[in-house]
Each structure stands twice: as C-alpha cells, then as structure tokens.
Amino acid sequence: MKLENFIKITGNLPVIEIELLLAGIPNPDPLKVQISRWEKAGKLIQLKRGIYLLADAYRKIEVYEPYIASILKKPSYLSLEKALEYHGLIPEAVKVYTSVTTKRAAKFSSSAGVFSYKHIKNSLFWGYKPVTLRQQTAFVAAAEKALLDLIYLNGIKISTEYLQGLRLQNIEQINLDTLFEYAGKFKKPGMLRAAKIIKEYIQSYIDKPEAL
C-alpha cells in the first residue's frame, strides 16, 4: 500500500489501531512491513505496540491527548496532577498524563507525550466522567477524586503545608459533600482525615484567601 492510500484511510482517525486496520485483510504481512518502514522514516509515531499516530504533516485531525491516555490502557481514567490541571485547580502545566487503571502500572513515552499509569484496585475505580472533544472521548477524574487519588496513590501525609505547595487555586469548586463521600468510600481512616484537612484549608481560603 502506498502512503497516500494509507493516509486516505487513516488521516481522519485520532489514533490508528493496527489490529482493527488489518482485520479482513487476507495477507497483512506486506502492510505490516510498510508500517514498520513508515515508523522508521518518521511518518508514523508508535504510541505503544499496535497503536500509532500519523506524523503531524499527514494528520488531518487534531488529537486530544486525554483520549490517547484512555486508549493506551483500558480501563483507565486521567487523574492526579493532570486532572487537577484539567479542572484548573493548579496553575502549572503538567507534562505527564497520569491515569489510574485496574491493570498493571505502565508508562509510554513518544513525541506525542508521556503517558503514565498507576494501578488502583477495582473497588476504587470510580469517580470519573467522560469528556468529549473533537469527537474523541476521554475519561477524567472528578476534581475531588483526582485530589484523593493523588494522596492515596502517592502515600502522601496530608498537611496544610503540602496543600500550599500544590498552589491550589479555584478550590471553591471542590464540593465538600462529594469530597467526604468519596473519602469514605476508600474505607481508610487516613483518607477521611485528609478530607478534613482539605476542608479546613478550603474554608480558610474562602474566609481569608490572601493568607494562602
């Protein structure tokens, strides 16, 4: 297959899943060889084995990176610092797209970005919602769950000083009822204590924002 024909087929796809592309082709080996050559030539970007992006010069659609994160590891949802950035809770741009998954932890790096995955047990895989941009659907943690995931998965001993270090902003959008509901579902006393400290921090911010 010529590259021009390949682009016609795949140019409007946000990512290319080779297994789906090869389905129904009697002899897929020649195309596999071509894909390998195109990758070496920089015309394709390998995100992980079997999943590719067309290089920028050939792509007809702008890719939504959280969608890539949801594709590379299933099931998963974007959480921790990157989800806090998504919700506008921290001022800095976060380079690594960190998600949580019930599968094994993993990390995929390419010119498209760094996509990291932390393992979480099945009973804690909740608190996220679908987000669609340019017809690409990703899964992103609610602000409250992203903050609790950050504390839980990184084993953080929460304190006012730690929250100040995060440089949290727009924290009035955090729903305290939801925060405590979610913290209780972890079934860990430390998570409820963390929720209490977060609540006190938020109330201090609302009462006297210049102090924080």
The 10s digit of each residue's pLDDT in 42-67 is 999 999 999 999 999 999 899 999 99
pTM score? 0.90
- Of 145, 88, 86, 94, whose CA–CA distance to 120 is shortest? 145
Pure H helices in 73-212: 80-86, 143-153, 160-166, 176-185, 189-207
Pure H helices in the chain: 3-10, 18-22, 29-40, 65-72, 80-86, 143-153, 160-166, 176-185, 189-207
Looking at residue 24, what is its pLDDT? 76
Looking at residue 208, what is its pLDDT? 64
Q: Are 45 and 35 in contact (CB under 8 A)?
A: no
